[in-house]
Amino acid sequence: MWPDYRIQNLFGIELPIIQAPMASCVFSEMVVAVSEAGGLGSLPCGLLSLEQMRNELEAIRRQTSRPIHVNFFCHTPPQVDANRERLWRQRLQRYYVELGVDQNMSVPSANRAPFDDKMCDLVVEFHPEVVSFHFGLPEEKLIQRVRSTGATIVSSATTVDEARWLEERGCNAIIAQGYEAGGHRGIFLSEDVSTQAGTMALVPQVADAVKVPVIAAGGIADARGVVAAFALGAAAVQIGTAYLLCPEAKVSPLYREALKNTTDAQTTLTNIFTGRPARAIMNRAIKELGPISENVPDFPLAAAALGPLRSKAEAAGSGNFTPLWSGQASRLARELPAAELTKRLATETRDKLRSF
């Protein structure tokens, strides 16, 4: 029925379809819908407080007994560099003046803390079946604690070297994240975005380099992409952008409109919103400040300075300063409930496989 069952067997799921964890856009409702449909629902915790994580995990465990996936950031905490911060705010000064905002205005900001003991306590308590990390892996003692819960450990690789590094440290499966992917790149062994290959080139090379099963991510949004991922040696797919038009996605009307109207040529990699490279729909901030800037404060500190501009612009209906994360295949996204999308992706993939 499926060309490869390694990921279904490893995760205990029916379909080789993983809804990508997408911080700020995916919460319990989507996770439950996808897991109940037979795929793997994924809760991103990168922007959640401990209390929010607990609430989301309680809501998920109440509504489904199917396997779930919980995702954390594991970046090195940044050093605050006052000079760099001052120069970056100077660069933004003309926008503060233009929009009439106080650059020190307080804007509720997200957590973006790396995985730590307290988050690990929640993993121990809620024992998600799959735990993944973005930006490498946390320190070994935390990995050991996660492993002792029986969870399967996964992380994203953006190069063959990163995939080997993750396998050597005990990852049970590896997400090969191609250049097309929306949101933050998992890149962690280098800062050089010119090292980043597309899904078509990356997946087979990662599949050749590691023994653990590979999950393809980046630009996959319909059955054609899923079939291609299997042909390239992946055992499953992780799909992000295509789930952003589901009603369960917490995406503002402004962001939703941008996603619906974006073409393959309108996204780019930028570091100006957070300090790390991520794919987003081109807007004024990216055009004028980036797309890649050497002066931006380290991840995640860069987000603070743009916060007041984003708030003010959004209140006036403008996405000029909003990070509109999107992969290159947003035009293939369909406005379907997440369960329906998951089931259709599976049925259409099986139909396509039979047609060869």
Q: Is 220 in the site for ligand FMN (CB under 6 A)?
A: yes
Kindly tell me which of 300 and 308 has the beta carbon lying closer to ligand FMN. 300
Q: Segment 192-211, which members bind ligand FMN (CB under 6 A)?
A: none
Distance CA 44, CA 224 (A): 26
Question: From the list 182, 277, 291, 308, which residue makes contact with ligand FMN (rule: CB under 6 A)?
Answer: 182
Using the minimum distance from each CB to ligand FMN, give the nearer residue, 43 or 309: 43
Query: Can you tell me the distance from the alpha carbon of 318 to that of 310, in angstroms, rounded to the nearest whole number?
Result: 9
Which residues between 99 and 118 bind ligand FMN (CB under 6 A)? Answer: none
Three-class SS state of 216: strand
Q: How many residues bind ligand FMN (CB under 6 A)?
A: 29
When asked if residue 238 is in the footprint of ligand FMN (CB under 6 A), the reply is yes
User: Of 29, 162, 167, 180, which one interacts with ligand FMN (CB under 6 A)?
Assistant: 180
Smallest distance from the beta carbon of 124 to ligand FMN, in angstroms? 21
| Window 133-152: residues binding ligand FMN (CB under 6 A) | 134
Site for ligand FMN in 243-302 (CB under 6 A): none
Q: Which residue type does 272 have? A: I
Q: Which of 27, 136, 327, 339 binds ligand FMN (CB under 6 A)?
A: 327
Comparing C-alpha atoms, which of 218, 70, 54 is closest to residue 133?
70
CA distance 162 to 137: 11
Interface stretch with ligand FMN, choices 2-10, 212-220, 268-276, 299-307 (CB under 6 A):
212-220
Instruction: Name the nearest CA neighbour of 271 among 288, 287, 293, 255.
Output: 293
Question: In the numeric block, which tokens belong to residue 90?
Answer: 């100077």
Q: Between residues 245 and 353, which has the closer beta carbon with respect to ligand FMN?
A: 245
Out of 70, 123, 181, 296, point to the residue binding ligand FMN (CB under 6 A). 181
The residue with tokens 């035009």 is 331
Contact indicator for 170, 153 with CB cutoff of 8 Å: yes
178 vs 307, beta carbon nearer ligand FMN: 178
Apex CA 98: angle with CA 97 and CA 101, to 5°?
Answer: 55
The stretch among 28-36, 173-181, 205-213, 303-311 that binds ligand FMN (CB under 6 A) is 173-181
Q: Which of residues 19-78 bind ligand FMN (CB under 6 A)?
A: 20-23, 25, 44, 46, 71
- Nearest approach, Cβ of residue 330 and ligand FMN (Å): 8
The CB-nearest residue to ligand FMN is: 240
Whether the CB-CB separation of 28 and 63 falls below 8 Å is answered with: yes
> How far is it, in rounded angstroms, from Cα 133 to Cα 174?
10
Instruction: Confirm or reject binding of residue 123 to ligand FMN (CB under 6 A).
Output: no
3-state SS class at 130: strand
Among 128, 138, 183, 275, binds ligand FMN (CB under 6 A): 183
Contact status, residue 251 vs residue 25, Cβ threshold 8 Å? yes
Residue 240 binds ligand FMN, judged by CB under 6 A: yes
Determine contact, residues 132/71, Cβ cutoff 8 Å. Answer: yes
- By CB under 6 A, tell whether 239 contacts ligand FMN: yes
Pairing of strands 278-281, 183-184: antiparallel
For the CB of residue 31, give the shortest distance to ligand FMN in the complex, in Å.
13
CA-to-CA dists, residue 143 to 74, 117, 123, 186, angstroms:
11, 10, 11, 18
| Residue 217 sits in the site that holds ligand FMN (CB under 6 A) | yes
Question: Among residues 46 and 307, whose Cβ is nearest to ligand FMN?
Answer: 46
Q: Strands of 267-270's sheet, edge to edge?
A: 183-184, 278-281, 267-270
User: What's the token pair of residue 147?
Assistant: 């492993």
* Residue ranges binding ligand FMN (CB under 6 A): 20-23, 25, 44, 46, 71, 134, 156, 177, 180-184, 217-220, 238-242, 325-327, 329
